[in-house]
Chain A
Amino acid sequence: MKIKAFIILFICLTQFFSTSSIGVEPDEVLKNKKQELRARDISKNIRCMVCQNQSIDESNSPLAKDLRILIRNKIKEGNKDEEIYKFLTYRYGDFILLKPPFKFSTYALWLLPFIFLMIGIFVIYSHNKKSKKI
């Protein structure tokens, strides 16, 4: 386990800091600007599975490049954003999304911040109410 983790880290470091810390390359760029923007936005939300600390938009690992090209092809073929995300998460799981999905397992993640806020306001409010009486 230690060796494996080290190998992956080493590959990452050499990829991450290798000659082209570039990400998207000019020959990948779509001619249609709207489609290219869609591709970039989707790519920015997809985690690079190899390096796991970059999006595929920034990463120069070969898998990132393959996925970038795949996304662009799917956009050209007329797929919607949702379909593309579904395609990727079917194969790689929710982990590949940088923005966690809103489903049963992540309700807590998305709702708790606002619940915290409500609790905070409530605490001050009730403390004040009690203090006013005294």
Chain B
Amino acid sequence: MKKQILIIPLAVFLLIISAFFYLLIIDRNPSEIPSNLMNKNVPNFKAKLLLKNKDFLSSKEFGNEKVLVNFFASWCKPCRDEHIFIKRFSKEKGIRIVGINYKDKFSNTTKWLSDLGNPYSDIPLDKNGRIAIDWGVYGIPETFIVNSKGIIKYRHVGPITKKVYKKISLLIEEIE
């Protein structure tokens, strides 16, 4: 009995070390929080559009085809850095991209898009940030993949890099 007790500290120790080891070797970002909306329906929202004179209704616009949703703003530098990849998603993967414009000014956004290019099919305006909160966004830019049934399948926090582009490209192909 006593010998068994003496092994407990060792056993607990090894378990904890293994858990730490596992966390170190997998590909993870310690400060990234997984989206709680994974495999859930797209949040319900209505918004004005930047370039069209009608409202954007999420219930109508999602659930028809695969969509990439990109939260961006003209004042956000990483958004500028990743924009070339957003354009590539549209060109190379042919996927529809909805760009939700976060807390921005009309004139700034239109200028930003005319300078850098506009890959978005629609640009709903999130003037007060409530839509972002409904999507669980905490650090723009953020990019979501929504499947053809309107279910959120993937989220990436932060700018799209070359590595992330490859990963998301593959996911776009896999997801229906």
Which residues on A are within 8 Å of B, measured CB to CB? 1, 3-5, 7-9, 11, 49-50, 52, 62-63, 66-67, 70, 89-93, 95
A73 to B136, CA, bound (A): 18
- In the complex, residue of chain B having the shortest beta-carbon distance to the beta carbon of A5: B31
Nearest CB of chain B from residue A68's CB, rounded to whole Å: 12
A90 to B32, CA, bound (A): 17
Nearest CB of chain A from residue B130's CB, rounded to whole Å: 8
Digit string of B85-104 for contact with A (CB within 8 Å is 1, else 0)? 00000000000000000010
Apart from A4-B32, A7-B78, A92-B33, what are 14 other A-B pairs with CB-CB below 8 Å?
Answer: A4-B157, A5-B31, A7-B158, A9-B31, A49-B33, A62-B103, A63-B133, A63-B138, A67-B133, A70-B130, A91-B134, A91-B135, A92-B136, A93-B36
**Interface SS of B by simple majority:** loop
Name the one of A1, A7, A9, A49 contacting B138, with C-beta atoms under 8 angstroms.
A49
A52 to B157, CA, bound (A): 15
Nearest CB of chain A from residue B108's CB, rounded to whole Å: 16
Name the one of A9, A49, A91 contacting B37, with C-beta atoms under 8 angstroms.
A91
A7 to B32, CA, bound (A): 12
With A90-B36, A91-B36 known as contacts, the answer to whether A66 contacts B129 (CB < 8 A) is: yes
Name the one of A9, A11, A70 contacting B133, with C-beta atoms under 8 angstroms.
A70
- In the complex, residue of chain A having the shortest beta-carbon distance to the beta carbon of B159: A4
Nearest CB of chain B from residue A34's CB, rounded to whole Å: 25
Nearest CB of chain A from residue B111's CB, rounded to whole Å: 22
Q: Taking the complex as formed, is B29 at the interface, i.e. its CB lies under 8 A from any CB of chain A? A: yes
A52 to B128, CA, bound (A): 22
With A4-B158, A7-B78 known as contacts, the answer to whether A91 contacts B33 (CB < 8 A) is: no
- In the complex, residue of chain A having the shortest beta-carbon distance to the beta carbon of B32: A4
Nearest CB of chain A from residue B141's CB, rounded to whole Å: 11
Q: Taking the complex as formed, is B117 at the interface, i.e. its CB lies under 8 A from any CB of chain A? A: no
CB pair B138 A92 closer than 8 Å: yes
Nearest CB of chain A from residue B83's CB, rounded to whole Å: 16
Nearest CB of chain B from residue A8's CB, rounded to whole Å: 5
Contacts of A50 in B (CB 8 A): 138-139
Residues of B110-150 whose CB lies within 8 A of A: 128-130, 133-136, 138-139
A7 to B157, CA, bound (A): 12
Contacts of B134 in A (CB 8 A): 91
Contacts of A52 in B (CB 8 A): 31
- In the complex, residue of chain B having the shortest beta-carbon distance to the beta carbon of A69: B128
Contacts of A91 in B (CB 8 A): 36-37, 43, 133-136
A4 to B27, CA, bound (A): 14
